[in-house]
Amino acid sequence: MLSIHTLHEENQYLLLKCISGSRAYGLDTPQSDTDYKGIFLSPKKEFYGSDFQDQVANETNDIVYYEWRKFVDLLGKNNPTILELLATPSDSVLYKHPLIESLDASEFLSKLCCQTFAGYAQSQIKKARGLNKKISNPIETVRKEIPDFCFVIDGMNVIPLTQWLGTRNLNETDCGLVKIPHMRDVYALFHNSQVNEISLKGIYSGTDSNDVLLSSIPKGIQPLSLMSFNKDAYSIHCKEYAQYWEWIEKRNESRYQSTVSHGKNYDAKNMMHTFRLLHMAEEIAKEGKIFVRRTDRDFLMNIREGKFEYEDLLLKAEEKVELIESLFEKSTLPQEPNLDRLEELLVEVRDKYYSF
């Protein structure tokens, strides 16, 4: 099987090798890493055999090479990464095989770019909103449990179950519940002191519980009270708790500290690339070309440095999306790339390469 060393260090089987990311965009800083992307053609034995690889990358994914077939497939879908790779500025192109020398990204642009560029930017805006929520509303270390979402009728009042138990010096493990018919998540609440020869099961089984426990109660015994369990709120809390602490575990700490340091509570780098994609989508709709090297560097770097308010950026982005959708509706670009031409390229380049 092909290794990243074979492709990247020995430069075998390459069709294209480029510097990518911030250095290709002209958005790099002294601290920026150097990313690489490219295209390769599998050796004939691997292509026809069982060891075919459609992509080869290093562990951090800052070096990625796409097999010719995958590259053409994604090009036909107007994938932004693939179009950017094909339109890489000449000073960032380290190698280009003669077989694809005349290949031009503009030839394959279509109205699909409205979704792939602007649509992806919108998904990044949602991601930014989620990050803002995590930063602004941190979740406590200890997850809440089922009793925290239970409430008891106490005369004319509704009070938390834990408070109701505390005022009566009762323990939830000595209580039992019976479902009230025709009422969602409402239960009759009993205590061991009301029954003989049986032991009630308690309110819930423990921290991993998804629902309350039910007990068998002899007929004729009146409940101490009625209890409701806000199951929906409990499920949402468990999901948000898991997502938050997974984010804490996996987040890029240096990038997070950068986000916190500018005090705007959004991922500035992510937001910068969101606007880069939006501006590229606008250029594609207006000019039918893709410009990787950014002439709007000052504006984008100001975003990265946290010089805009979060809500102002969201408003700008929403306005830009509306403009882009309008521009693509009026654009003379085709609805989709010429798939027949892509099919020809797929076969033609491989045949010629294998015949060398």
Q: What is the DSSP letter of 157?
A: E
Report the Cα–Cα distance between both ends of the chain, in Å, rounded.
Answer: 21
Domain borders along the chain are: 1-107+334-356, 111-140+252-331, 146-231
- Confirm whether pTM is higher than 0.75: no
- Give the full edge-to-edge strand order of the sheet including 14-20: 55-57, 63-67, 35-40, 14-20, 93-96
Place of tokens 């209580």: 175
For residue 336, what are its two tokens?
Answer: 């989709």
Tally of CA atoms within 13 A in the half-sphere of 57 that contains its CB: 12
CB 95, CB 11: distance < 8 Å: yes
pLDDT tens per residue across all 356 residues of the chain: 889 999 999 989 999 999 999 999 999 999 899 999 999 999 988 888 888 999 999 998 999 999 999 999 999 999 999 999 999 999 999 999 999 999 999 999 999 999 999 988 887 776 665 555 555 556 677 889 999 999 999 888 999 999 999 999 999 999 999 999 999 999 999 999 998 778 899 999 888 888 999 999 988 899 999 999 999 999 999 998 888 777 766 665 555 545 444 545 567 888 899 999 999 999 999 999 999 999 999 999 999 888 888 889 888 998 999 999 999 999 999 999 999 999 999 999 999 999 87
* Six token digits for residue 292: 């990787």
Q: What is the DSSP annotation of 9-37?
A: IS-TTEEEEEEETHHHHT---TT---EEE
Task: Work out the number of other CB atoms within 10 angstroms of the CB of residue 304.
Answer: 20
Determine phi and psi for 43, rounding to 5 degrees: -55, 150
CA pair distance 268, 260, nearest whole angstrom: 10
* Contact residues for 323 (Cβ-Cβ < 8 A; gap 6+): 282
- With tokens 């898991």, the residue in question is 242
Token digits of residue 40: 């390769």
